[in-house]
Amino acid sequence: MHGRRLATTDKIIVLTSPDSGEPLERLQDWAAEKGIDVAVVELGEEIGDAYEPGRATLGVTLGGDGTFLEGIKLFTPLGIPQLGVNAGSLAFLARVELEELEAALDEVVRGRATVDSRQKLHVDAPGVDATGINDVMLQHVPPENPFDRKITRLDVFVDGEYVGQYEGTGLAISTPTGSTGVALSAGGPVHMPGDNHTLQITPLQTHSMGVRPMVVSADADIKVVSREQASLLVDGGRAHKILSGGDVIDITGSEERAHVVRTSYDDQFMTAITEKLSWGIRDDPDGPRDLLDDEFPEEELSTVERARDVATEAAQSAGEPLRELHGRVEDVTVKTDKSDIVTEADHQANKIITTIIENEFPDHTIFSEEAETVEGDSEYKWVIDPVDGTGNFAHGNPQYSISIGLLEGGEPVMGVVYVPETDEMFHAVKGGDAYKGEKKIQTSDRSALDESMLLSGWDPDGEFLTHFYQETRGVRALGSAALSLCYLANGSAEGIWEYGTYPWDVAAGVVIARAAGATITDRHGEEYSVEFDSDERKELLGSNGEAHANILEHLQKNEELMR
């Protein structure tokens, strides 16, 4: 989940531990000022009606790490991102201190926080079907007779390959989040937990000097066979079972991942563990950071460059619900009319994008195809199409895009086009280079029609296709004008024809295409301009520049196309 998406939060569900009354009151007062609803769930209760599907919801835990872990169980299955506030004592997971509560929440709803994807694990054993975020411990069961055997033998397989037999007091199979617990005390490595999708196997008090901790992929299938009785605990006993000899325990990374919200007010991971474990390697934690800041001074961005960064983050955030809703369009189990899903897609994407822009640029005008214009008093105007290619979207076709452009004094100066289904991000600022992700892109250099691939947008009578198909290497219709302009910029086509465009269709794509070397005109060869003073659609002819004269000449020979 992208942190910018949190800017649309309109409900908070708070999981409270005992004695968290004072911070809860502070949170409720803060939320009331922001117009955000709050529901309270006490530790041990079910979430029940507190969760309302479809609402932008943030989960907050008030307590220590135990409360945080209970929050993971509560919020993760519902896809709710979780912020941990430390109202306990020793906490590695809940890292916002009480004095920073309101400031951290402010950062979250401004879309300035980040969201870590945390790996969970799944355990399947006789009598146990559970998930955890920390670890699975398999340990010997103390014998009734103190003189009997006090160790256990565990055979371990990874993806069908026999690893070996562990003889000792047991094993800890942990996620990166759980690496600082039992696994660390047994000599296992510390993992930076954010967006780290692995599992590790750590022997506990092994009787072999050659046995070492091992890290495996989260997708690995770990099987453990106990030779004798063993105790199985998930996340410190949140699931517990005494296993018999010969039982098989299946452990793998869970497809369900936790979303942990991090703010600048959180204790950093290394700070948290060094202070709370009394490590001596960072007695002067600010010194090295100061040196790093001196070596890499923060670059001051112009308004347009900063707008480009905000737009890319907004597009990525809006892409998340679009992917989710797009997957429902062709789902035969969906009873809702497809048009309702498309409407919801437009609404959610637009709300995310406009909220993020309003937070960062409160004096800018924001025009969106899907909402009323937000009037600002600066010379900057945002032009947004939250779903360009709604017809494709409605039919389960992946060729739709998010288009975000910025005009300065009426002139397009920044463009971002994002393709959610392929995770392609096209962007440019006027006067700079065009990019696909971090890679510079440019138009092709073909000039002859018989070597050119063309893209057609709205072609109501099919005449463009008729007159150009045989003359070229083909004419393709993508169904998204913004995406067509980006493919032109990327060298994937030599020309593009749109019978009629609206400003929100092309404001972003025109900037990207021109930055890559494209020529964009109308049907007469005059420079194309983005205009808002007319409700009429406007034709657009784009090319790589080299082929423009040939395409324009052939187009003008067939004036019936231009009715």
Q: Is 267 annotated as a binding residue?
A: no
Residue 444 and residue 389: Cα distance in Å, rounded? 25
What is the C-alpha to C-alpha distance for residues 131 and 173, in angstroms, rounded to an integer? 12
Is 369 annotated for ligand binding? yes
Separation CA 454–CA 289 (nearest Å): 52
294 marked as binding residue: no
At residue 301's C-alpha, the angle toward residues 298 and 306, to 5°, is: 120
**DSSP for 232-267, written as a single string:** EEETTTTEEEEEPTT-EEEEEE-S--EEEEE-TTBP
Q: Is 65 a catalytic residue?
A: yes
Q: Which two structure tokens, joined as six digits, stand for 458?
A: 């709205």
The two three-digit tokens of residue 205, written as one number = 């008090």
**Residue type present at position 362:** P
Q: Which of 174, 312, 168 is nearest to 235 (CA)?
A: 174
- For residues 509 and 403, give the distance between their C-alpha atoms in angstroms, rounded to a whole number: 8
CA distance 252 to 272: 28
Give the closest residue to 351 by CA, choosing from 6, 60, 1.
Answer: 6
* 66 in a labelled binding site: yes
Does the annotation flag 150 for ligand binding? yes
CB-CB contact of 493 with 531 (8 Å): no
DSSP 8-state symbol, 173: E
The span from the CA of 85 to the CA of 64, in Å, is: 8
Instruction: Report the alpha-carbon angle 412-416-422, nearest 5.
Output: 155
Residue 413 tokens, joined:
């100066």
Percent helix, percent strand, percent coil in the chain, to nearest 5: 30, 30, 40
User: Is 293 annotated as a binding-site member?
Assistant: no
Q: CB of 3 within 8 A of CB of 31?
A: no
Amino acid at 26: R
Considering the candidates 49, 65, 221, 267, report the single residue annotated as catalytic. Answer: 65
- Phi and psi of 447, rounded to 5°? -120, -30
116 is in an annotated binding site: no
How far apart (Å, rounded) are the C-alpha atoms in residues 185 and 398?
Answer: 48
DSSP result, 381-429: EEEEEEEE-HHHHHTT-S--EEEEEEEETTEEEEEEEEETTTTEEEEEE
Which residue ranges make up the annotated binding site for Mg(2+)?
369, 385, 388, 505
Which residue ranges make up the annotated binding site for NAD(+)?
65-66, 134-135, 150
Q: Mind telling me the catalytic residues?
A: 65
Which residue ranges make up the annotated binding site?
65-66, 134-135, 150, 369, 385, 388, 505
